[in-house]
Chains A and B, each alone.
Chain A
Amino acid sequence: MAKKRYAYFQGCSLEGTAVEYDKSMRVVFDALGVDYVEPEDWSCCGSTPAHTVDHVFAAALAARNLSIIENMGLDVVTTNCPSCLMAFKKAQYSMENDGTFKEKVNELLDEKYNCGVYAKSSLQVLYEDVGLEAIKNRVTHIIHDMKAAPYYGCIMNRPPKIAQFDDPENPTSMDRIISALGIEVCDFAFKLECCGAAFGVPKRKMVNELSKKVIAMAVDAGANCIIVACPLCQQNLDLRQEQINQTTGSNFNIPVIYFTQLMGLAFGYTPKELGLDKLIVSADHFARSRITKQEYLEREKAKEQEKKAKKEVKKQETGEEENP
């Protein structure tokens, strides 16, 4: 079978404040042999603002891109950004299920869209199509001192009828990827809680308060790092972390890393190659504390032996006490 080729939709935020998400995703795709091409001359998906105006209009902004991809002969588009993902999925869902809606959308477009392209998050492509085995096999380095809180954000897998991926209340795909990298995952209750979304500019205080709850929950769970899959979540938790501290009187200093950057670190890439320098709260110490898989396995083995030896000694001691 020929290898699946995906259309890769970068999206506006990944050209700007989230460049490191794009950069690290490409590194990870290349490392795992995912074949992707970019649609030429893509435009904004419309995101939240468009669907406050009109659903047909919003779907048209998304469908312009889907139609470009359709004309490239591809049937799956993958994107990192949950907002783009939802814009594509909702357009596809409404157009497929409602002929009049489809017609109305196509009337706004130069090139008609025939509903032949399905959207998948990059997380889904890595989890389902590439698979945990392949990810595990690619790991060269272990970040042994990280305790990760996997934060999915609200719309990566909801609503289930449209998202069609993972569990809508307790998703585990990212948890499992992080575990496959040999990293400890915390039991984090706010995986899906909203960070304040796109209201950061007009409603800053509200967003700071909502984001605070997410970070506080991660810290309470024992995490020393939050792993994200959404550029908006990342921005609200990282870029705004100092604002959060000022607004809410908290004192957080916790790195917020894209899951793709984490994968890249585990695959042995340099911080620079993964855009780690773009994070506001530094995560460099995790890059420095990485050890090779080989060394990690040796350490684990030594620990195991030490434990066994201690048990032996204890057994002998208690044995002696019992039979004086």
Chain B
Amino acid sequence: MDAINLTESIDWKFIEHVKEESGQDPALCYQCGNCTAGCPYSHYFDYPVSQVMRLLQAGQKDTILNSKAIWLCATCETCTTRCPCEIDVAHIMDVLRIIARRENRVSEKDIKLFYDSFLDSVKKFGRIYEVGTLLSYNLRSGHLFADSDLGPKVLAHNKIHFLPKKIKGSDKVAKIFDRFQETLKKHG
């Protein structure tokens, strides 16, 4: 990590915001590194999870919200399980990702696109329609052949439906999406 001038760059509001939304107190972290040691993704993160916690204590909003780490975190719960201060670290990562999404800062566009393709299917059909989700992701991401090598395998074992099944209450599920959008608009 580069040196940070704390007097100039601490965003206190950001710290409060994360505290409130996660119900966790990042100040409890004493940088033991347990979370990073156990995190299966440390190798792939630009800032390992204990550094994200330190950056959070220092109110480094931009660095955190622009990081790849918050998108690559798989919510595997290792950090939460092992934190000696009982901080729900995975939940904090989750909240940081949510804030980044709200502010439209997405350092890992493909991951977000994949999630969005998934949720589109839920909204449309009420359930996940795997073929549709993959195709929609491939089209939107421009990775037209992502995982196409798996196709023949899945086909040979007759593991996939070619037509989506729409549930009866899919309109009710779609309403959850719509109402959620409305609350977003209401609360800005």
B2 proximal to A (CB < 8 A): no
A118 proximal to B (CB < 8 A): no
Q: Please, which residues of chain B bring their CB within 8 A of the CB of A64?
A: 169, 172-173, 176
Q: Are B147 and A52 in contact (CB under 8 A)?
A: no
Q: Are B159 and A43 in contact (CB under 8 A)?
A: no
Cα A110 to Cα B179 in complex, Å, equals 10
Q: Which of A183-228 contact B (CB under 8 A)?
A: 192-194, 196-204, 206, 210
Q: Out of A49, A52, A57, A158, which one reaches B81, CB within 8 Å?
A: A158
Cα A200 to Cα B129 in complex, Å, equals 16
Which of B7-15, B29-37, B149-157 makes up part of the contact surface?
B149-157
Q: Are B81 and A168 in contact (CB under 8 A)?
A: yes
B158 proximal to A (CB < 8 A): yes
Q: Which of A107-136 contact B (CB under 8 A)?
A: 107-110
Cα A17 to Cα B157 in complex, Å, equals 9
Cα A259 to Cα B169 in complex, Å, equals 32
Q: Are B94 and A202 in contact (CB under 8 A)?
A: no
A240 proximal to B (CB < 8 A): yes
- What are 25 pairs between A and B in contact, CB < 8 Å? A16-B129, A16-B159, A17-B159, A19-B159, A41-B168, A41-B169, A44-B126, A44-B128, A49-B118, A53-B115, A53-B119, A55-B98, A56-B183, A57-B177, A64-B169, A64-B176, A107-B183, A158-B77, A169-B81, A194-B74, A197-B74, A201-B114, A202-B111, A204-B146, A243-B149
**How many residues in B have their beta carbons less than 8 Å from beta carbons of A?**
60
Given A64-B173, A203-B110, is A52 in contact with B94 using a C-beta cutoff of 8 Å?
yes
A155 proximal to B (CB < 8 A): yes
Q: Please, which residues of chain A bring their CB within 8 A of the CB of B129?
A: 16
Interface residues of B (CB under 8 A from A): 40-41, 44, 72, 74-78, 80-81, 88, 90, 94, 97-98, 101, 108, 110-116, 118-119, 122, 126-130, 134, 137, 141, 146-147, 149-150, 153-154, 157-161, 165, 167-170, 172-173, 175-177, 179-180, 183
Cα A159 to Cα B78 in complex, Å, equals 8
Q: Please, which residues of chain B bring their CB within 8 A of the CB of A138?
A: none
A46 proximal to B (CB < 8 A): yes
Q: Are A43 and B126 in contact (CB under 8 A)?
A: yes
Interface residues of A (CB under 8 A from B): 12-13, 15-17, 19, 41-44, 46-57, 60-61, 64, 104, 107-110, 154-155, 158-160, 168-169, 192-194, 196-204, 206, 210, 239-240, 242-243, 277-280
Q: Please, which residues of chain B bring their CB within 8 A of the CB of A52?
A: 94, 97-98, 101, 112, 115
Q: Are B137 and A49 in contact (CB under 8 A)?
A: no
Q: Are B128 and A198 in contact (CB under 8 A)?
A: no
Q: Please, which residues of chain B bring their CB within 8 A of the CB of A160?
A: 81
Residue of A nearest to B39 (CB): A194
Q: Are B98 and A54 in contact (CB under 8 A)?
A: yes
CB distance from B111 to the nearest CB of A (A): 5
Q: Out of A110, A192, A199, which one reaches B175, CB within 8 Å?
A: A110
Known: A44-B126, A52-B94. 9 other contacts (CB 8 A): A13-B130, A15-B127, A47-B118, A57-B176, A154-B76, A159-B80, A168-B81, A202-B110, A206-B41
Cα A56 to Cα B153 in complex, Å, equals 38
Q: Please, which residues of chain A bring their CB within 8 A of the CB of B154?
A: 17, 239
Cα A247 to Cα B76 in complex, Å, equals 23
Q: Are A239 and B173 in contact (CB under 8 A)?
A: no
Given A43-B167, A52-B98, A56-B180, is A200 in contact with B147 using a C-beta cutoff of 8 Å?
yes
Q: Please, which residues of chain A bring their CB within 8 A of the CB of B118?
A: 47, 49
Q: Out of B77, B78, B128, B176, which one reaches A13, CB within 8 Å?
A: B128
Q: Please, which residues of chain A bring their CB within 8 A of the CB of B81?
A: 158-160, 168-169
Given A193-B40, A210-B40, is A53 in contact with B98 using a C-beta cutoff of 8 Å?
yes
9 smallest CB-CB distances across A and B, nearest first, come from A49-B115, A12-B128, A154-B76, A202-B110, A197-B74, A194-B40, A158-B77, A194-B76, A43-B126
Cα A287 to Cα B90 in complex, Å, equals 41
Q: Are B76 and A155 in contact (CB under 8 A)?
A: yes
Cα A155 to Cα B74 in complex, Å, equals 11
Cα A60 to Cα B174 in complex, Å, equals 12
Q: Please, which residues of chain A bring their CB within 8 A of the CB of B172?
A: 43, 64, 110
Residue of A nearest to B150 (CB): A239
Q: Are B157 and A278 in contact (CB under 8 A)?
A: yes
Residue of B nearest to A240 (CB): B150
Residue of B nearest to A279 (CB): B157
Q: Please, which residues of chain B bring their CB within 8 A of the CB of A158?
A: 76-78, 80-81
Residue of B nearest to A200 (CB): B147
Q: Please, which residues of chain B bring their CB within 8 A of the CB of A279?
A: 157
Cα A159 to Cα B90 in complex, Å, equals 9
Q: Are B167 and A201 in contact (CB under 8 A)?
A: no
